[in-house]
Structure formats: structure tokens, C-alpha cells
Amino acid sequence: MSFTGGRTVRRALEFGRTYVVRPKGRHQVTIVWLHGLGDNGSSWSQLLETLPLPNIKWICPTAPTQPITVFGGFPSTAWFDVGDLSEDAPDDIEGLDAAAAHVANLLSTEPADIKLGVGGFSMGAATSLYSATCFTHGKYGNGNPYPANLNAVVALSGWLPCSKTLKDKIEAQGEAVTRARHLPILLCHGKGDDVVPYKFGEKSSRALSSNGFEDTTFKSYNGLGHHTIPEEMEEVCAWLTSKLGLEGRST
């Protein structure tokens, strides 16, 4: 019983500090970018600041600090709990819902004419892909309505949570099929990733494509471990520019 008790306490934890990178040109798009396990919003905001994407506002929140099962209960910044990274590990729906709701909440105050996106690295990428499924399904895992309208999703070195139930969610309603078909998703993964195995990225991409996410792009990088490289970020810039119709790239 103590475990369930722990979970209620854990869910009451605060999200950390949010870092914002303002657009250097005309504001066309806002993207919430989510860090990986044990990281914070600051490190990614510094990298995103350097990208030649003047029309994007980046919001980089910090995850709550919570006990992580894979670390033997040791606390870390994390969007949700992870038992172990295996095909059959149970998904922490409650944690995923809380993280996806935090993202939707951050996007909720953006102007109506601004396109919205979510992206992230590792566990942040998993949360982004989970947000994509909530958006297409129209609700969170707990059944509450999902409020945000997503125009693009980027997942670096991540995986798709709840992939086994994706088919049922999409088939359940016609609107979900339409939303899935039109949502652009970019997945990038290093073949040398020893933290989130490459096959997880590959399988996630296949699961999305085979469930009606027709605009899914999967990019692999030989020898890349569990981190990002300029070549990958260049790919992200080009993809976002083309999918979101961004005006101009600054050099």
C-alpha cells in the first residue's frame, strides 16, 4: 500500500522553472520543448537559442523532481515514472497525463493565430509523442478532454508510450483519424544509443505510421549515442521550416 500512498504525494509535486526563448523575428510558432531525465529546461533553452529559427518562441519547462523506480526510488527531474525500458514495462499513465497537461497548459495562453508544437529529448520525446496521441484522440489517458491544437511534434532519442493501445484510440472515432493523418511528426534516433535503444525509436515510428499518422518522418544517425549533434538539429530546423511554413531562417 505504501507505494500507492507514495504516488499520491508524488503527483502533488511542483513543476520546476520554465525558461523561454523569445522569437528574434515575427512570432509564427510556439513550441514547448521537454528535457530528458535528470536534466532541466535551462540546458535546452541555451541550445535552442542558437538555432536559426527566428519565428519560433520556445518554452522550456523543468519537470518535477520525483522518485524514479529505475533509480531504485531515488528522486530525479522526470516527466513521469520509468520502471525499466523494455517492451512490456507498464506505462505511468497518471504521470504522462500530468506532463501532457502541463504542456497543453503552457500552450493555452498563446495567441490564436500562432501554430503550436511540442518536442523533446529522450523522456521529453516520449512525453511529446504521448501528447500527440492525446491530441489526435481528443483526450488524455484518464478520459479528460485534451485542449491544445498541435501542428508539429518532434521526438529525439525517444519512444512512444502506450503504443499497444494506439490502434483502439485512433479507430474509435473519425476525427482522430483525420487529426492523425495531418499531424507532422519527426523522430530522430542515434544507432549507437545505449540508453534508449535505437529499435525503440524505429518501432515507435512504425507504430505511428501503421496507425494512420501518415506524416511521420524517421531519421537515423550512425554512431550517434544518447545525445544530440549539430547535424540532427539542422534536420530539425529544416523540417520545422518546411512543415510550419516559417518565413525566414537567420544565419
> Which one is catalytic: 137, 193, 204, 205?
193
Greatest CA separation found in the chain? 57
122 is catalytic: yes
Q: Is 190 helix (H, G, I), strand (E, B) or coil?
A: strand
Taking CA atoms, 205 is separated from 36, 104, 214, in Å, by 19, 23, 10
Distance CA 80, CA 70 (A): 11
Q: Which grid coordinates belong to 125? A: 520525446
DSSP symbols for 138-159: TB-TTSPBP----SEEEEES--
Percent of the chain as helix, strand, coil, to the nearest 5 = 40, 20, 40
With left for phi above 0 and alpha for psi between -120 and 50, is residue 38 left, alpha or beta? left
> Which one is catalytic: 122, 128, 157, 204?
122
193 is catalytic: yes
CB atoms within 10 A of CB 205: 24
- CB 104 within 8 Å of CB 131: yes
Residues serving a catalytic function are 122, 193, 226
